[in-house]
């Protein structure tokens, strides 16, 4: 598979996982289209919305290692030894996570999707060996809500996705929903 095919398969897997999450909550998700952007137009219990998927990686080298490993059209780039050591990895990743979310809040193409379709759903993959999506949904909810407060609310919901367990957690003002 080339890198583009891997990206499409990844997005489809996340959408399928989110569909299962919705079903587990008693809702029905139907895929309408995958226009790029957003990653999906869907109906949830008959109400139209859209989904944007992004991934927060522990660092750039970790991202390149993971994304180049399976791609036929890209040489694998292992994480250099000097980038495998970190002090206070949770604090470092928390800043990366908020930056990743804010990029979607200020991205022009997402602004156009918001103008056309109203607010959507953001699903963020949590790619770090030092934290779990479920824990971050709880521990980082306040800092995320504070960071996005000044921006137009392009997303009515933010979910964290754990690529290792395929678990999904909703970040809300009242805590987490599993």
pLDDT of residue 91: 61
From the number of C-beta atoms within 10 Å of its C-beta (0-12, 13-18, 19+), residue 7 rates as middle
pLDDT in 10s for each residue of the chain, 178 residues:
887 888 898 899 999 999 999 999 999 999 999 999 999 999 999 999 999 999 998 766 655 666 667 767 777 766 666 765 555 555 678 889 999 999 999 999 999 999 999 999 999 999 887 888 998 988 898 999 999 999 989 999 999 999 888 899 999 754 455 4
pLDDT of residue 173: 54
Name the residue range of residue 33's domain: 3-80+88-177
- Mind giving me the DSSP string for the chain? --HHHHHHHHHHHHHHHHHHHHHHTT--EEEEE--SSSSEEEEETTEEEEEEEEEEESSHHHHHHHHHHS-TTS---PPPGGGS--SSHHHHHHHHHHHHHHHHHH-HHHHHHHHHH--EEEEEEEE-SS--HHHHHHHTHHHHHHHHTTS---EEEEEEE-TTT--EEEEETTEEE-
This prediction has a pTM of 0.86
Domain count, the chain: 1
């Amino acid at each position: 598979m080339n890198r583009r095919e891997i990206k499409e398969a990844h997005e489809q897997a996340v959408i399928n996982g989110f569909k299962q999450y919705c079903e587990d909550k008693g809702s029905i998700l139907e895929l309408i289209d995958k226009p790029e952007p957003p990653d999906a137009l869907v109906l949830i219990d008959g109400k139209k919305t859209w989904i944007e998927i992004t991934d927060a990686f522990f660092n750039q080298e970790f991202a390149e290692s993971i994304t180049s490993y399976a791609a036929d059209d890209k040489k694998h780039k292992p994480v250099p030894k000097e980038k495998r050591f970190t002090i206070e990895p949770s604090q470092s990743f928390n800043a990366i996570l908020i930056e990743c979310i804010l990029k979607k809040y200020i991205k022009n193409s997402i602004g156009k999707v918001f103008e056309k379709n109203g607010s959507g759903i953001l699903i963020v993959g949590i790619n770090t060996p030092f934290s779990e999506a479920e824990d971050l949904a709880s521990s980082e909810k306040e800092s995320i809500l504070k960071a996005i407060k000044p921006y137009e609310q392009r997303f009515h919901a933010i979910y964290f996705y754990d690529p290792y367990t395929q678990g999904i957690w909703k970040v809300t003002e009242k805590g987490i929903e599993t």
